[in-house]
Amino acid sequence: MRELKYREAIDEATRQAMAKDERVFVLGVGVDDAKGIFGTTRGATLEFGPNRVFDTPLSEAALTGVAIGAALRGLHPLLVHARNDFLMLTMDQLVNNAAKWRYMSGGSMRVPLTIRAIIGRGWGQAAQHSQSLQAMFAHVPGLHVVMPATPADAKGLLLTALTTEAPVICLEHRWLYEKTGPVAEEAYYTPLGHAAVVRQGTHVTVAAMSLMVLEALQAAESLAAESIAVEVIDLRTARPLDSETVCASVAKTGRLVIADTGWRSYGVSAELAARVGRECFGDLRAPVERVALPDVPTPCTSALERAYYPGAAEIGAAIRATLLVRGRAPAAPSVEARGKEFSGPF
Amino acid sequence: MPPLAPERLKGFYVQMTRIRRAEEAIVARYPEQEIRCPTHLSIGQEAVAVGVCQALSEQDVVLSGHRCHAHYLAKGGSLRRMFAELYGKATGCCGGKGGSMHLASPETGMLGASAIVAGTVPIAVGAALAAALRGSDDVSVAFFGDAGIEQGVTHESLAFAALRRLPVVFVCENNLYATLTPLSKRQVSADVSPRAVAHGLPGVSVDGNDVLAVYEAAAHAVARARAGDGPTFIEAKTYRWREHVGPNFDVELGYRTQAELDAWMARDPLLRHARILETSGVLTAAERLALDREVEAEVADAVRFAKASPFPEPAALYADVD
């Protein structure tokens, strides 16, 4: 199958959605400029022109409300943010309006609204340009939160979002943008709330999302050399959260590591751990381990960034921890953190 | 502007009376503890909703805030379904899930209300954007209060609407108080409309207790919007007779005086319009009484309907979430 970069897959999904449905239009700060949100809106700009792809003032709160209003009147806006941190400016519109309009109106109205926002990382982007805020949105009934890890899912989940008659927030990790993978040429629709088993294994399950799926696969590869068979699950969506697929895997492995791009406390990893503890308690043979960000803001200096971000090494250590409970001695730690492939400036 | 036909002028009266009587029925019924949601009454402010909505056509849309009964009714919302909503019944306009602060009637163009001040101002702009993108000539209206101009999102919305010349009318219902806090404690100027001018759209202030003045300003703004000449900001100066939330008068709290309330009640928009109709021979006192009776019967029927309606089934809790 043809290979595309993650960002190219987003661009293609956008163009295909717009070609199929004239209700879809794109707005956001800088969407029609020469860079086009790292290339993801450039194709749509060139193909569909200024009536369907247009720039906006830096008024994120109002523009989110504007998008809701357009959605209530029969359009499907795709609102794009270069960083998900800016969504904090739009929380009233997202939480009080977009998420609730259907419910509050007794089902007489719907808000078909797709929001794309990027999770930044590295090159000293510091505390306000690197947050991974999926838990903030996933907490709210009425919102959907998708976190594609592969180019194929970046396309399939965005196409699904753009045909869903409800608000969907797509969080895209900046470090995935240049990754390549097989992507089917035609439009296809990846269902929300269906995790994917991306590597089979029998000893330990790792449930990961977004960039952490790649880190988990690397950890699994390293441990395979020691005959530790790790099953890796790509959660794909944070809400709805497919704990069923995770439990089916835990039934086999008895051990679970959750790898989240967000903070450890109160996050998606906590929700998943709680569900697994409830739904397949009897299958667990070790406490659930979590690999997530420490509960501090993102520092700027690379010296502290290195300490801040967990990766394959930490996932590997967590996998070993789940095995240690049964008294199984691990081989000497050998897992290397993934090499730097991304650098600034932005 | 050509003079309005007598039937239209009577219609204004009936519309305002329906709102007044409906809210008086809420006042009367509230102590029964069956209307179990916070209600923000528009008594004294009816001319704004009616004057504006009478300038709209059926396909135009409005959005509102917590004090939304008048806007809902003026835009054609069902009286029965409004009372059923207040009583929390399955037959309510939102199936009992919205309540007094979130009335909606999309079939008549009332797209809903947010209880967060100014929360729907950008939504009205978005409805106007949709009209512009689709090439329809629908107009949208954002109703909000004097505190709405204190929210940043309102300024963002005004600026964006002006930038794209969107067919939206911003209607600021200035009733002088945000809960108990007077305008003078919150804003440097007693006039709200000049704030709009800074964003590049015309801002006018009108007597919000004069339904004809409101209508005229709204009709002008709607015509501008429909012609593609962009948004207009209308400040309608009016007054809330009763407490911020709930059925009672609240002068005893001391934040406003009885003299102030009396002065505004003497400018009752309903009686004022009735007098004009009487003097001009459009509506005699006897005819007016007959109209009042009709509206009262309609309100009584709506209350009966609401009380007789069933509550939603528990399963409705999980319906229409996402």
Check residue B2 and give its pLDDT: 76
| Contact assignment for B97 to A104 by CB distance below 8 Å | yes
Higher pLDDT: A219 or A343? It is A219
pLDDT (mean) for A240-262 = 98
Structure tokens at B72: 């809902």
Nearest chain B residue to A109 by CA: give it. Answer: B106
Query: Which domains are assigned to chain B?
Result: 6-240+250-310 (3.40.50.970)
Same domain, A225 and A258: yes
Nearest to A73 among B96, B127, B157 (CB): B127
pLDDT (mean) for A212-224 = 97
Nearest chain B residue to A144 by CA: give it. Answer: B322
Q: Is residue A340 part of a domain?
A: no
Same domain, A125 and A260: no
Q: How many domains does chain A have?
A: 2
Q: Is residue A187 part of a domain?
A: no
Asked if B307 and B82 touch (Cβ cutoff 8 Å), the reply is no
**Model pTM?**
0.95
Check residue A187 and give its pLDDT: 98
Chain A residues lying within 8 Å of B121, measured CB to CB: 62, 65
The average confidence (pLDDT) of chain A is 94
Instruction: Tell whether the model's pLDDT for residue A346 goes beyond 60.
Output: no
0.95 surpassed by complex ipTM: yes
Domain extent at residue A152: 3-182
> Can you state the angle between helices B211-226 and B269-279, rounded to 10 degrees?
90
Check residue A328 and give its pLDDT: 47
Check residue A324 and give its pLDDT: 86
Same domain, A138 and A259: no
How far is the alpha carbon of B170 from chain A, nearest alpha carbon, in Å?
14
Q: Which helix (H) or strand (E) holds A237?
A: strand A237-239
Q: Which residue has the tokens 């219902």?
A: B173
| Contact assignment for B112 to A105 by CB distance below 8 Å | yes
Asked if A68 and A113 touch (Cβ cutoff 8 Å), the reply is yes
Q: How confident is the model at residue A326 (pLDDT cuts 50, 70, 90)?
A: very low
Chain A within 8 Å of B165 (Cβ-Cβ)? Answer: no
Same domain, A296 and A244: yes
Check residue A197 and give its pLDDT: 98
Identify the segments of chain B with pLDDT beneath 70: none
Check residue B262 and give its pLDDT: 98
Structure tokens at B267: 């400018």
- Looking at residue B59, its amino acid is Q
Instruction: Tell whether the model's pLDDT for residue A329 goes beyond 70.
Output: no
Asked if A158 and A116 touch (Cβ cutoff 8 Å), the reply is yes
Per-residue pLDDT reduced to its tens digit, B138-152: 999 999 999 999 999
Same domain, A276 and A314: yes
How far is the alpha carbon of A145 from chain B, nearest alpha carbon, in Å?
12
Same domain, A175 and A218: no
We report the CATH number of the domain holding residue A244 as 3.40.50.920
Check residue B1 and give its pLDDT: 74
Per-residue pLDDT reduced to its tens digit, A81-102: 999 999 999 999 999 999 999 9
Instruction: Tell whether the model's pLDDT for residue A327 goes beyond 50.
Output: no
Check residue A330 and give its pLDDT: 46
pLDDT (mean) for A41-68 = 97
Q: Is residue A153 part of a domain?
A: yes
Same domain, A299 and A234: yes
| Annotation says A129 is catalytic | yes
Check residue A344 and give its pLDDT: 54
Q: Is residue A337 part of a domain?
A: no
We report the CATH number of the domain holding residue A146 as 3.40.50.970
Same domain, A155 and A103: yes
Check residue B147 and give its pLDDT: 96
How many helices (DSSP H) and strands (DSSP E) are in chain B?
11, 8
Kindly provide the residue ranges of all beta strands, DSSP E only, lying in A99-153, ordered along the sequence: 113-119, 144-146
Q: How far is CA B181 from CA A142, B174, B186, in A?
A: 34, 13, 8
CB environment A124-135: b (16+ within 10 A), e (fewer): ebeeebbbbbbb
**Which of A116, A149, A182 lies at the terminal end of a domain, its last residue?**
A182
Check residue A341 and give its pLDDT: 52
